[in-house]
Homo-oligomer: A and B are copies of this chain.
Amino acid sequence: LKLRQLEVQGFKSFVDKTKIELKEDLLIVVGPNGSGKSNIADCILWAIGEQSAKSLRGAKMQDVIFHGTKKRPAAGSAEVFLLFEKEDGQKIRVGRRLNRNGDSSYVIDDSNVRLKDIHEFCYRNNISVQGSYLVEQGRVEKMLALSPQERKSLFEEVA
């Protein structure tokens, strides 16, 4: 499975509809401090079902919605779509939406699904629901810093 496209709108600093192709296997994301690089990681984490607002650097889940700048008003909702491609060429689109009053929805291809279906998609494709594919900024030592039990549950997910 490869991540081939990212579509974002209203998610953190990506207020305008942003669609990027990810054709390659080793992609380097660069840019000045505060430009939005870690926000891209947050997009991906969120779209495949992250439930902890804190893991997304917020207090409540609505904090991922673009909250406005001096010149632009806040957005009413956030949405992220990830386009995956399987080895046989089959494409799968996984998406998530959230609006300010808390209504949220998950999408796989053209169907509305529940969070557990997103997690099912992750299990089937070896995407860690615990998010162990992500090494967050400032937390590269995480693997070493985990408690022995936390490390065990990571291994259980792998097995």
Distance in angstroms between the alpha carbons of A82 and B138 in the assembled complex: 32
Distance in angstroms between the alpha carbons of A14 and B141 in the assembled complex: 25
2 A-B pairs within 8 Å (CB atoms) are namely A138-B138, A138-B141
List residues of chain A with CB under 8 Å of any chain B CB. 138, 141
Contacting residues, chain B, for A141 (C-beta < 8 A): 138
Stoichiometry, as copies per complex, reads 2
Distance in angstroms between the alpha carbons of A46 and B141 in the assembled complex: 24
Distance in angstroms between the alpha carbons of A146 and B138 in the assembled complex: 16
Contacting residues, chain B, for A138 (C-beta < 8 A): 138, 141
In the complex, the chain B residue whose C-beta lies closest to that of A140 is: B138
Identify the 2 closest CB pairs spanning chains A and B, nearest first: A138-B138, A138-B141
Distance in angstroms between the alpha carbons of A141 and B141 in the assembled complex: 16
Shortest A30–chain B CB gap in Å is 21
Distance in angstroms between the alpha carbons of A126 and B138 in the assembled complex: 31
In the complex, the chain B residue whose C-beta lies closest to that of A139 is: B138
Distance in angstroms between the alpha carbons of A121 and B145 in the assembled complex: 36
In the complex, the chain B residue whose C-beta lies closest to that of A138 is: B138
Shortest A12–chain B CB gap in Å is 19
Shortest A135–chain B CB gap in Å is 14
Shortest A55–chain B CB gap in Å is 16
In the complex, the chain B residue whose C-beta lies closest to that of A141 is: B138
Shortest A138–chain B CB gap in Å is 7
Shortest A112–chain B CB gap in Å is 39
